[in-house]
A and B are shown apart, each in its own frame.
Chain A
Amino acid sequence: MSAVEQEDNSNQNRRITWEGCSVLLDINDGDRLVFSRLTAGSIVKIGNKNYPLRPLIGCPFGSLFQVENGANGPSLARITSTAEDNNAEDKKECDIKEESRDNRALIDNNTAQTLTGEDIEGMRRQGASGNAIVEALIANSATFENKTSFSQEKYRLKKQKKYAPKVLLRRPFARSICDTYFKKYPARIGFLRVDTLSLLLSFANVSAHSDVLVVDMIGGLITGAVAERLGGTGYVCNTYRGDSPYSIEIVRIFNFNDEINKRIVRLSLDELCNNGDMKEDEVMLQSANDSNVDNPSSNVLESLSLEGGSMEASKVYKAAKPGEKAPQDAIRSWKENGFSSLIIAAPDVDAWSIVKEVLPFLSFSAPFVIYHQYLQPLATCMHNLQVEKMAIGLQITEPWLREYQVLPSRTHPHMQMSACGGYILSGTKICNEKSTTTTQ
């Protein structure tokens, strides 16, 4: 392996943030998730205050920050000691020991708290930390002592979120990006759940050096997830009908280096089908593309932020480096040898009508996989593939995912779960007379 490639790979796996890097901010333990870009001027709004993100630059992913009200206004400061955590653990200990209290004597009214809003504001002005305010609130709560430890914990957490919010700095990975979108804007990713996405990548045998054909009509999530696994090798080629490629906006949230971005390409189905070389269309698209390249990258922040629906405003597809037209030599090679696998995620297009067009571009023995939110289109597609003898190992699967709360004496499945992760049709293309004629 050449030294250059080594470097690129470690680059892709950077564990410390840098100026201009894309991050996921997890505010108050998943209560709010915000994609942002770390620049000198970027901010995050928590409650009614704006916090500059500059202190986050150069910190390791996984760092935790708390708010501080310093002389220069509100700021985020990295939590460096473990004292607090030890505290939390002590509290868990008591959980098990003294669970003899119950809620029978608890009366919930507003007289329980003796600290007024003014008192709290006063504490703040004197520079009291968020945690000190939380402790004061607990000390001045008439009912706290009588609550069960479970309710005490809940009370503390609620106050802590309000007066001492925490920001966790997370790496945008296929995992966290899919989870975040699924939680906040599921429709934009075609309701693709993370376990389903993980299955798509497996069924399509996505690995370094492979050439993966995708029909990604869910914002670029598939494209990005595939590119992440390619690590700057092979290609992920997004094919589309008509003149304009589908948006791959989500790709920008991944911190892809140039090497990886170059491996994310597009090619219209017409060009793929066409034997000669396309001239006019090509030129047209190329120039449309170029005119967008010089958009200031600071605009990217806008399109990255999932907060406040700013996504809609920046719907316009700004072609940066990922998603250029596939290079000629790659196209030639695909036409000759076929793609190594195929992934389709097209919520509004009939599965069979896509498959029958793109399957001929796969190599023999190449696996393919189709995601759909509904079962019926996949059932029909599977039936047709069987009748046409185009593939074997055909299977429709429905993933199911359940999370558990695991706590001493209180372990149980989460009350809420996503009931639909969609359906997956997978199979392997075979070499029969029909398919032979189309690829040769």
Chain B
Amino acid sequence: MLPTDPMKKLSFKRHISDGDLVIVYEKHDNMKAVKVSEKSVLENRFGVFKHSDWIGKPFGCKVSSHKGGFVYLLAPTPELWTLVLSHRTQILYIADISFVVMYLELIPGCVVLESGTGSGSLTTSLARAIAPTGHVYTFDFHEQRAIAAREDFEKTGLSDLVSVGVRDIQGEGFPKDLVGRADAVFLDLPQPWLAIPSAGEMLKEDGVLCSFSPCIEQVQRSSETLASNSFTDIRTFEVLLRTYEVREAKMDQCQTQTQTEEGTPGARPFKRKQRASEASNWQADNSGSPSVMARPSGEAKGHTGYLTFARLKCIA
């Protein structure tokens, strides 16, 4: 997924080959990750697609099924991956992910610790930010999830950048061999305050910690723990995204001319009737040019979680 090898950096030009991971795009809310395999087929409501037809085509191309239905084949990115990965837990989405990466000040070469791994949605973006020379150490106490995450990172080609450990971070803290090595720590745990003292030991001075919690009580408790564990600049945010629908339509024009005629006293005794006829006049005139309009989409996420950030104090 990431062009960690500079020779492959213009991978889009590279044509799809056997063994590639592609994102099959039907609609913006209907995508699927598929490993291309010469002998396989993809079956969906549009029909049967033979993988062998895909090989040699460029990423971004449109491919057809035996029935003439079509899908697009996209190169995977962390954003697309977040939309197609298998949900083994609640996951973070682009708004929170982007803000976390920016506020943790991640750049190539950074070492970042994460717990829990969950479905690896955030991990993928952490890996992108610290590539090609940094490393993500991510921990989950749930063995199956850790194994599944490892398999995913293998599939997305991130295994060199990410190490998944099975560990109870709230109970045992992060492993001692990482003490003082972390540029940043991210916590998505039910009781983050239990992991904060250990996170403090792992961080370099002035390193940044972020804790994601859905409930304000968790934030309250984490913030108090941070303050008493040599953290400073403790700040809590909430980020959301509103999406917009766009459509082009011809709007009926309001004709002032017609209105004055209608308004002649005596001609229309009943106000109600008058209004009705004006309305029909407006509708009748659709000579206006089409315009593009936007409005917020009907449903949106109203809350995901609070993001609490803090910096390890720098004491001489």
Contacts and interface: CB of A to CB of B under 8 A. Distances in A.
A103 B251 CA distance: 59
Interface residues of B, number: 79
Nearest to B9: A209
A336 B2 CA distance: 21
Contact residues of A: prevailing secondary structure: mixed
A399 B75 contact: no
A266 B73 CA distance: 32
A383 B248 CA distance: 8
Nearest to B131: A208
Contacts of A398: 241-244, 296
A231 B183 CA distance: 16
Contact of A401 (B101, B237, B316): B237
Contacts of B311: 62
Contacts, number: 239
A6 B133 contact: yes
B4 interface: yes
Nearest to A386: B246
A229 to B, nearest CB: 7
Contacts of A380: 292
Given A5-B133, A173-B105, A406 B219 contact: yes
A365 B62 CA distance: 11
B202 interface: no
B152 interface: no
Contact of B314 (A10, A62, A89, A430): A62
A21 interface: no
Contacts of B246: 379, 382-383, 396
B314 A367 contact: no
Nearest to A364: B60
Interface in B226-258: 227-228, 230, 234-244, 246, 248
A432 B244 contact: no
Interface residues of A, number: 84
Contact of B62 (A60, A366, A402, A431): A431
A411 B102 contact: no
A383 to B, nearest CB: 5
Interface stretch (A190-198, A240-248, A274-282, A296-304): A190-198
A376 B294 contact: yes
A267 B220 CA distance: 50
B262 interface: no
A195 B99 contact: yes
A406 B28 contact: no
A202 B97 contact: yes
Contacts of A211: 9-10
Contacts of A203: 79, 94
Contacts of A286: none
Contacts of B228: 89
A403 to B, nearest CB: 5
Given A78-B316, A406-B223, A13 B60 contact: no
Contact of B102 (A197, A393, A413): A197
Contacts of B129: 207, 229
A305 interface: no
Nearest to B306: A404
Interface string A411-422: 101000000000
A341 B145 CA distance: 33
Contacts of B298: none
Interface in A206-248: 207-211, 228-234
A363 interface: yes
Given A13-B109, A80-B315, A397-B243, A233 B13 contact: no
Contacts of B306: 404
A317 interface: no
B9 to A, nearest CB: 4
A171 interface: yes
B12 A340 contact: yes
A338 B77 CA distance: 17
B157 interface: no
B280 to A, nearest CB: 30
B32 interface: no
A379 B13 CA distance: 30
Given A337-B12, A364-B58, A411-B220, A12 B108 contact: yes
A146 interface: no
B128 interface: yes
Contact of B132 (A208, A364, A366, A394): A208
A207 B133 CA distance: 12
B74 interface: yes
Contacts of B50: none
A137 to B, nearest CB: 25
B209 to A, nearest CB: 13
A397 B244 contact: yes
Interface string A58-73: 0011111000000000
A399 B241 contact: yes
Nearest to B241: A397
B220 A406 contact: yes
A62 B296 CA distance: 41
Contacts of A401: 99, 237-239
A406 B12 CA distance: 46
A408 interface: yes
A367 B79 contact: yes
B227 A337 contact: no
B313 A62 contact: yes
Interface string B158-181: 000000000000000000000000
A404 B237 contact: yes
A392 B23 CA distance: 13
Nearest to A88: B227
B110 interface: yes
A227 B72 CA distance: 31
10 contacts: A12-B108, A62-B314, A85-B313, A203-B79, A210-B9, A363-B10, A364-B59, A376-B294, A393-B28, A408-B220
The 4 closest A-B pairs by CB, nearest first: A231-B108, A364-B60, A62-B206, A363-B12
Interface of B: 2-6, 9-10, 12-13, 25, 28, 58-62, 72-75, 77-79, 94-95, 97-99, 101-103, 105, 107-110, 125, 128-129, 131-133, 183, 204-206, 216, 219-220, 223-224, 227-228, 230, 234-244, 246, 248, 292-294, 296, 306, 308, 311-316
Given A208-B4, A430-B61, 9 more contacts: A9-B133, A15-B205, A205-B78, A205-B128, A211-B9, A337-B10, A365-B73, A375-B294, A400-B239
